[in-house]
A and B are shown apart, each in its own frame.
Chain A
Amino acid sequence: MTDGSVSILDGNTFVVSDDRGDIEATPTDTAGLFSFDTRFLSKWVLTVDGERLSALSTDDLSYFETRYFLVAGTGTVYVDAKLSVIRRRAVSEGFSETLEVLNHDDQAVDLTLRIEADADFADLFEVKDALKKKGTYTREAAPGRLRLGYTRDTYRRSTAISSVPKAKADEAGLTFRIRLGPRESWKAELEVVTEFAGLERLAKSSGRGRARANMESELERWLDGAPKLHCDWDPLLTTYRRSLVDLAALRFSPLTAGRRSLPAAGLPWFMTMFGRDSIITSLQALPFTPELAATTLRELAIRQGTRTDDFRDEDPGRILHEMRYGEMTAFEERPHSPYYGNADATPLYVVLLDEYERWTGDRKLVRELESVARAALNWIDEYADLQGNGYISYQRRNEETGLENQCWKDSWDSISYRDGRLPGFPRATCELQGYAYDAKRRAARLARTVWDDPAFADELDRQAAALKRRFNRDFWVEDGKYFALALDPDGNQVDALTSNNGHLLWSGIVDKSKAKAVARHLLGPRLFSGWGVRTLAEGETRYNPIGYHVGTVWPFDCSFIAWGLRRYGFKDEAAQIAAGILDAADFFEGRLPEAFGGYERSVTKYPVQYPTACSPQAWSTGAPLLLLRTMLGLEPVGEHLVVDPALPVGLGHLELLDIPGRWGRFDAFGRGFMSAERAPKLREQLGAAG
């Protein structure tokens, strides 16, 4: 990990600690044991005879289990190695920790082991904004156990700590006094359980606290069930495995989903259901793990908006933005129960439903969700057209805690004119129109083939065609030959050049005659850094290579751009983007961050990670999967999977075996060209030749 911290997780329960396994949270620090958006341990510090320990090494056994090898003392030069301590921690319903002490000396020793424990029960929102708590704390110590509690009204959360053998417990922690003979060792098992008063029955049925043995065999099953990758470029194999393991770790079961799971958005802040992120990751992972899409579709349907609620920015038919379970949500101090303020998840929901059917042939689910899809389509026309001009636009109604920018580029300065001015609201960003177009086209197909409503299909096709015509007229920046980022409240173009153009190709809303100019921009010097496509083009006033949405490169964004380029036949260009992102992944040991700097590749030689990017992040994890799809040109057509590979130079062969779908299992093969004259390098890179 970048900051020396170690994270392990299971669903939305996770631990962030230092490399000794210790937790020492400050009010704004993310260290701790978290579950359902609440910090259940803010302090967990081990000492031997009053001294902190030093880390020799840390071993991530799996995403839910870590082992820490420690020695007594914190001296920087000399470490007395007569005593070593091994902590082995696994996350489940809280965590369990095995503490082992080994005496390497030929003398007996008397030792005092102490674990200091505390819990602030902070809501994740409080950790982010450093807010004060409103409830009261309790501490109950009994032999072998300590219970830390927090109460505000009917809201009660507690952390139950126990040990075998029984420790002497006080309100601040647990103490073991032990005597170790020469070469002897000693062991204790510590159990930390997160408790939710009044929610136990819900939490239990959600599959929380799966036994460790189950988790191991379950991860094996997950990896076995995924298609097998073979290729002649080893870093891609590492990246692929990393993606599958991280995706397993990011699975999350909402309280209503039983043991089914969907992708949460990212660690540590975003281990929850997000409409946009869960849909996008499910799309990326469809050729690999289609069951994620099924759960995403079902769970988002259950929570589809049905009424008008300004606090939650809810409308009938709208797909949720974010669900949270912490104290501030519970007391309606935050709107996340759930919050609906996004403008893209609703059309993207329909896109996922169609893409899911094309891959799996699961018509039963598509029939079940017909009314949900119709309500989503109705939202596009009846609730999202804030200006009455036929375009989706957004303006929050919750002016206190709602989101200003309700598209994926949701930071405050992400939507700007070339000259850096920010437009007023409502804003109609371009990619939303592409998603709406695609949603209508795809829904038309479903209406024709599954819902048996050809009249509705014709109507949707007509609307889509009209939207496409208008869009290509109103958003096209004539003097730049690209699509404007948005229309402002006066209907004028917000004329900055951005990566959003790639999403438009993906949606198919771009006129054929304009596609070449768009592709040229995406691979041109202002947008393409050599690693990927910058969110905002170099030369625009707000361009900043480390600006969150105004210059960094987002791997997920690039994976959709590559898909879009393929849709319009730009195979080599798509391969070039795949090469850049996969090269970058190699620098991050296969785990792509949320975003990295937009610096020119030839200048920095390596991708510069965005300082506070969250990692692993679901749609970054999904990016290599979608890039495998675009490189192999996988496309379901009827009952078959069509393969049309276009590999980057340097990738000689690529095989993806056992791709699941309506065809059963299918193998895809691709052959490419090796560049013979390429000079040997320290590090073999795919995109450097391009």
Chain B
Amino acid sequence: MAADTTTEFFESLGRRAHEPLLEQTVGTIRFDLARKSDVHRWFVAVDKGDLAVSHQRRRADCTVRAPKQLFDRVASGEVNATAAVLRGAVQVEGDAELLTLFQRLFPGPPAETSAKRSGKKP
């Protein structure tokens, strides 16, 4: 499979192994990312900041469903996850607090997106 933003995002989480921003967090999030008839499934288990990323099915506290194409843009910071949930583009089931905390790991918007939305001249 060709490397893409989403795969890179999850793989980098796996390499990072520990994330200080989630030291108070325990739980597993399942991501179901749909592309055509395929569903790419990722599990991220958070245990007081320790991260374990896999494709292996397991019990999840929170399930996030989104089109893969959209999730690429979330993973790059271009699309804000909370806003995407509010407009139904990303669907959440289960413990919403877990996703709210997890989205700390998404990068902020690229400078160009940010400048455009903030009314700044380039």
A329 near B108 with CB under 8 A, answer no
The answer to the question of A214 belonging to the interface, with a C-beta cut-off of 8 Å to chain B, is no
Please report the C-alpha to C-alpha distance between residue A239 and residue B56 in the assembled complex, in whole angstroms.
Answer: 59
The answer to the question of A306 belonging to the interface, with a C-beta cut-off of 8 Å to chain B, is yes
A398 near B82 with CB under 8 A, answer no
B108 near A314 with CB under 8 A, answer yes
Give the residues in chain B near A80, CB-CB below 8 Å: none
B118 near A332 with CB under 8 A, answer no
Please report the C-alpha to C-alpha distance between residue A398 and residue B80 in the assembled complex, in whole angstroms.
Answer: 16
Please report the C-alpha to C-alpha distance between residue A156 and residue B87 in the assembled complex, in whole angstroms.
Answer: 7
B80 near A337 with CB under 8 A, answer yes
B80 near A155 with CB under 8 A, answer no
Binary contact readout B44-65 vs A (1 if CB under 8 angstroms, 0 otherwise): 0000000000000000000000
CB distance from B48 to the nearest CB of A (A): 11
CB distance from A338 to the nearest CB of B (A): 8
Q: Which of A302, A308, A309, A402 contacts B101 (CB 8 A)?
A: A302
Please report the C-alpha to C-alpha distance between residue A221 and residue B104 in the assembled complex, in whole angstroms.
Answer: 37
Contacts A155-B88, A311-B109; A400 near B24 (Cβ below 8 A) = no
The answer to the question of B120 belonging to the interface, with a C-beta cut-off of 8 Å to chain A, is yes
Contacts A256-B97, A256-B100; A309 near B114 (Cβ below 8 A) = yes
Please report the C-alpha to C-alpha distance between residue A156 and residue B91 in the assembled complex, in whole angstroms.
Answer: 13
Please report the C-alpha to C-alpha distance between residue A156 and residue B89 in the assembled complex, in whole angstroms.
Answer: 10
Residues 55-93 (chain B) with a chain A CB within 8 angstroms: 79-80, 82-83, 85-89, 91-93
A330 near B86 with CB under 8 A, answer yes
B118 near A398 with CB under 8 A, answer yes
The answer to the question of B21 belonging to the interface, with a C-beta cut-off of 8 Å to chain A, is yes
CB distance from A461 to the nearest CB of B (A): 26
The answer to the question of A255 belonging to the interface, with a C-beta cut-off of 8 Å to chain B, is yes
B100 near A199 with CB under 8 A, answer no
Contacts A302-B101, A306-B21; A311 near B117 (Cβ below 8 A) = yes
B97 near A310 with CB under 8 A, answer no
Contacts A256-B100, A306-B21; A202 near B92 (Cβ below 8 A) = yes
A310 near B89 with CB under 8 A, answer no
The answer to the question of B11 belonging to the interface, with a C-beta cut-off of 8 Å to chain A, is no
A371 near B23 with CB under 8 A, answer yes
B117, closest chain A residue (CB): A311
The answer to the question of B96 belonging to the interface, with a C-beta cut-off of 8 Å to chain A, is yes
Give the residues in chain B near A106, CB-CB below 8 Å: none
B21 near A399 with CB under 8 A, answer no
CB distance from B109 to the nearest CB of A (A): 6
CB distance from B100 to the nearest CB of A (A): 5
B117 near A335 with CB under 8 A, answer yes
The answer to the question of B115 belonging to the interface, with a C-beta cut-off of 8 Å to chain A, is yes
Q: Which of A314, A371, A400 contacts B119 (CB 8 A)?
A: A400
B87 near A400 with CB under 8 A, answer no
A202 near B96 with CB under 8 A, answer yes
Contacts A155-B88, A256-B97, A309-B109; A330 near B83 (Cβ below 8 A) = yes
Binary contact readout A152-188 vs B (1 if CB under 8 angstroms, 0 otherwise): 1111100000000000000000000000000000000
A302 near B100 with CB under 8 A, answer yes
Residues 205-254 (chain A) with a chain B CB within 8 angstroms: 205
Contacts A256-B97, A337-B82, A371-B24; A310 near B114 (Cβ below 8 A) = yes
Please report the C-alpha to C-alpha distance between residue A398 and residue B108 in the assembled complex, in whole angstroms.
Answer: 14
The answer to the question of A397 belonging to the interface, with a C-beta cut-off of 8 Å to chain B, is yes
Q: Which of B23, B88, B109 contacts A197 (CB 8 A)?
A: B88
B86 near A399 with CB under 8 A, answer no
Count A/B pairs, Cβ under 8 Å.
88
B117 near A332 with CB under 8 A, answer yes
A310 near B83 with CB under 8 A, answer no
The answer to the question of A678 belonging to the interface, with a C-beta cut-off of 8 Å to chain B, is no
The answer to the question of A198 belonging to the interface, with a C-beta cut-off of 8 Å to chain B, is yes
Give the residues in chain A near B85, CB-CB below 8 Å: 198-199, 202
B116, closest chain A residue (CB): A311
The answer to the question of A568 belonging to the interface, with a C-beta cut-off of 8 Å to chain B, is no
Give the residues in chain B near A199, CB-CB below 8 Å: 85-86, 88
Contacts A398-B119, A400-B117; A307 near B83 (Cβ below 8 A) = no
Binary contact readout A125-164 vs B (1 if CB under 8 angstroms, 0 otherwise): 0000000000000000000000000001111100000000
Give the residues in chain B near A306, CB-CB below 8 Å: 21, 104
Give the residues in chain A near B23, CB-CB below 8 Å: 371
CB distance from A325 to the nearest CB of B (A): 6
B108 near A309 with CB under 8 A, answer yes
Give the residues in chain A near B21, CB-CB below 8 Å: 306
Binary contact readout A310-348 vs B (1 if CB under 8 angstroms, 0 otherwise): 110010000000000101011110010110000000000
B88 near A201 with CB under 8 A, answer no
Please report the C-alpha to C-alpha distance between residue A255 and residue B100 in the assembled complex, in whole angstroms.
Answer: 10
The answer to the question of A303 belonging to the interface, with a C-beta cut-off of 8 Å to chain B, is yes
Give the residues in chain A near B91, CB-CB below 8 Å: 198
Contacts A310-B120, A400-B117; A303 near B92 (Cβ below 8 A) = no
Residues 6-24 (chain B) with a chain A CB within 8 angstroms: 20-21, 23-24
B109 near A154 with CB under 8 A, answer no
B117 near A325 with CB under 8 A, answer no
Give the residues in chain A near B82, CB-CB below 8 Å: 337-338
Contacts A311-B109, A311-B118, A399-B120; A332 near B96 (Cβ below 8 A) = no
Give the residues in chain A near B80, CB-CB below 8 Å: 332, 337
Please report the C-alpha to C-alpha distance between residue A302 and residue B23 in the assembled complex, in whole angstroms.
Answer: 12
Please report the C-alpha to C-alpha distance between residue A397 and residue B109 in the assembled complex, in whole angstroms.
Answer: 14
Contacts A255-B96, A302-B100, A307-B108; A330 near B87 (Cβ below 8 A) = yes
Please report the C-alpha to C-alpha distance between residue A337 and residue B108 in the assembled complex, in whole angstroms.
Answer: 13
Give the residues in chain B near A205, CB-CB below 8 Å: 96
Binary contact readout A398-417 vs B (1 if CB under 8 angstroms, 0 otherwise): 11111000000000000000
Binary contact readout A352-377 vs B (1 if CB under 8 angstroms, 0 otherwise): 00000000000000001001000000
Give me 8 A-to-B residue pairs in the complex whose CB atoms sit less than 8 angstroms apart, sorted by A's number. Answer: A154-B88, A154-B89, A302-B97, A338-B82, A399-B118, A399-B120, A400-B118, A400-B119
The residues of A with any CB-CB pair to B shorter than 8 Å are: 152-156, 197-199, 201-202, 205, 255-256, 302-303, 306-311, 314, 325, 327, 329-332, 335, 337-338, 368, 371, 397-402
Q: 16 more A-B contacts (CB under 8 A) besides A325-B86, A337-B80, A398-B118?
A: A152-B87, A153-B87, A155-B87, A156-B88, A198-B88, A202-B92, A205-B96, A307-B108, A309-B108, A309-B109, A309-B114, A310-B117, A311-B113, A331-B83, A398-B119, A399-B119
